[in-house]
Amino acid sequence: MKRERIFKEFYLIAIVLAVFGFFTCSSDDSNDDSSGAADVTADEVIAESFFNTSSLVSYEKVDCTMEDGSSGDCYKLVFTSNPVENGPYCPETINDIGGLGIYDGTTNAGFQVMKADLFNAMEADGYDIVDDEGNIYTDDFASGPVNQDYSYCLEAAPNDNLLLTFLIPATPVLASSNNTISTVELIGVSVDGVPINGDPPSVANPGNEIEGNIPSLDPCGGHHDPAGYYHWHFVPETMNQVLEANGIEDVSCTLIDQVSDTKLIGFAKDGFPIYAYEVEPTDLDDCGGRTAVTSDYPDGVYHYVASNTEAPNVPKCLKGVSANNNFSYQ
C-alpha cells in the first residue's frame, strides 16, 4: 500500500490580456475589494506576507527545473507540519459518528459520514471492518502490524516534527495541455502550509492499493499521511457548503473559518493562486479558474476557485507547468 504521497515580476495588464485571453475573464468582481490589498512588490507576487508566520519556516527564491525541462525561478517554501487543528476521524464503534469517507463499493457508495450506514455497507460487501462487539477496526500506521484478515478504518498518527518543502514557480507558464489531477496528487499548498491534494483514495477504487481499508477524513476534508503530516483533499473554507449540497447533516467543519466573501487560501503547484468564494462565480473555465480583480491582486490575476458543491471541491486540473520535485518532507 502506498504510504507516501508562487511572477518573478508582476504581469502588466497587457500581458495578462495577451496570455490569458482564452480564459473567461472579468475586469471586476463584485465579491472582491481592493481595500487592504497585500503589499506585493514587482518581484514578489507570491509575497511572504500571504503566509502564516507561525508555520512558515523559510521563504526564498531559488533556481529550479520545470517539469517540461525548462529552467526558471521558484519560491522555496518550508513549513512545519500539522499547523491547523484537525479531526475527528474514525468512530470508535459502529454507533458513533466520526469524520467523512468516500466509498466506491457496491452498497451505499458515495461521499458520506463515517457512521453505521457506511460500515454496514462495507460489511454487506464483504469487508470485515466491525468486530463482534461493534467496534471499528482502526489502523494508525504506528501501532505495529495489523491482522490482514480484517479491513480497517485508516487514521494515521500525526508527526509534528516534520518540515514540508514546496517549490512554486515564481512566474507561472502555461502548459501545452491541462494537467488532470490524479488521485492523491499534490495540487498545491495552503497559506498555512498544509498540502492540498486531489481525490482521496477509496476502499474499492481499483488499483489504489488500499486492499479493503478505507481512509478517514475529518469534517474539514483532511487527514494525516502515513508519514504523519496533515493534508487536505478539500478546500475547507467552503466545506460546509459542500456538505449541505451533498445532504450531509451529521458533521460540519468547525475548525476552519468558512469564507464570508472571497479569500486567498493558497497556491497551486503551477504558481497560480487558489481562492474560496462565498458565492461561486459562474464564469469558471474547465479547470475551475478565472481571471479577475481580487483584494490581493488589484490589477487582476488568474486563479483557481474552490467548488461550493462538488466533493472533493479542489481543482480538477491545472493550467500551468510545475517544478520538478515540487514537494518533499523530512
What confidence score (pLDDT) does residue 251 get?
98
pLDDT at 307 over 50: yes
CA neighbours within 13 Å on the CB side: how many for 151?
23
Please state, for a pLDDT cut of 70, what percent of the chain lies above it: 84
Identify whether 91 is part of a domain.
no
What confidence score (pLDDT) does residue 205 get?
52
Summarize the confidence of residues 80-104 as an average pLDDT: 97
Identify whether 116 is part of a domain.
no
What confidence score (pLDDT) does residue 308 get?
98
pLDDT at 1 over 60: no
What confidence score (pLDDT) does residue 211 get?
65
How far apart (Å, rounded) are the C-alpha atoms in residues 112 and 149? 25
Are residues 219 and 100 in contact, defined by beta-carbon separation less than 8 angstroms? yes
Are residues 16 and 298 in contact, defined by beta-carbon separation less than 8 angstroms? no
What confidence score (pLDDT) does residue 328 get?
98
CA-nearest of 87, 159, 148, 178 to 329 is: 159
Identify whether 134 is part of a domain.
no
Domain span at residue 195? 13-86+157-329
CA neighbours within 13 Å on the CB side: how many for 125?
20
Per mean pLDDT, which range of 18-22, 111-115, 268-272, 283-287 is the poorest? 18-22
Identify whether 316 is part of a domain.
yes
Summarize the confidence of residues 153-161 as an average pLDDT: 97
Q: How many domains does the chain have?
A: 1
What confidence score (pLDDT) does residue 203 get?
83
pLDDT band at 204 (very low <50, low <70, confident <90, very high): low
151 is written with which cell numbers? 479491513
How far apart (Å, rounded) are the C-alpha atoms in residues 75 and 201? 30
How far apart (Å, rounded) are the C-alpha atoms in residues 161 and 179? 32
pLDDT at 255 over 90: yes
Per mean pLDDT, which range of 145-149, 160-164, 178-182, 286-290 is the poorest? 145-149
What confidence score (pLDDT) does residue 18 get?
35
pLDDT at 226 over 90: yes
Torsional class of 9: left (φ above 0), alpha (ψ -120 to 50), beta (otherwise): beta
What confidence score (pLDDT) does residue 82 get?
98
pLDDT at 237 over 70: yes
pTM (two decimals):
0.86
Checking DSSP bridges between strand 230-232 and strand 222-224, what pairing results, if any?
A: antiparallel
3-state secondary structure string, the chain?
CCCCCCCCCCCCHHHHHHHCCCCCECCCCCCCCCCCCCCCCCCCCCCHHHCCCCCEEEEEEEEEEECCCCEEEEEEEEEECCCCCCCCCCCCECCCCCCEEEECCCCCCEEEECCHHHHHHHHHCCCCCECCCCEECEECCCCCCCCCCCCCEECCCCCCCCEEEEEEECCCCEEEEEEECCCCCEEEEECCCCEEECCCCCCCCCCCCCCCCEECECCCCEEECCCCCEEECCCHHHHHHHHHHCCCCCCCCCCCCCCCCEEEEEEECCCCEEEEECCCCCCCCCCCEEEECCCCCCCCEEEEECCCCCCCCCCCEEEECCECCCEEEC
pLDDT at 102 over 90: yes
How far apart (Å, rounded) are the C-alpha atoms in residues 80 and 114? 29
What confidence score (pLDDT) does residue 263 get?
98
How far apart (Å, rounded) are the C-alpha atoms in residues 56 and 228? 18
pLDDT band at 27 (very low <50, low <70, confident <90, very high): very low
What confidence score (pLDDT) does residue 42 get?
32
What confidence score (pLDDT) does residue 201 get?
86
Identify whether 6 is part of a domain.
no
What confidence score (pLDDT) does residue 51 get?
98
What confidence score (pLDDT) does residue 41 get?
32
pLDDT at 188 over 50: yes
Identify whether 121 is part of a domain.
no
Distances (CA, A) of 297 to 31, 75, 194, 238, 317: 13, 18, 22, 21, 22
CA-nearest of 77, 281, 239, 66 to 167 is: 77
Q: Which residue has the higher pLDDT, 218 or 40?
A: 218
What confidence score (pLDDT) does residue 212 get?
85
Identify whether 244 is part of a domain.
yes
Q: Which residue has the higher pLDDT, 11 or 251?
A: 251
Residues 6+ apart with CB under 8 A from 44: none
Per mean pLDDT, which range of 21-30, 74-83, 220-229 is the poorest? 21-30
pLDDT band at 320 (very low <50, low <70, confident <90, very high): very high
Are residues 329 and 231 in contact, defined by beta-carbon separation less than 8 angstroms? no
Identify whether 98 is part of a domain.
no
Per mean pLDDT, which range of 15-19, 122-126, 312-316 is the poorest? 15-19
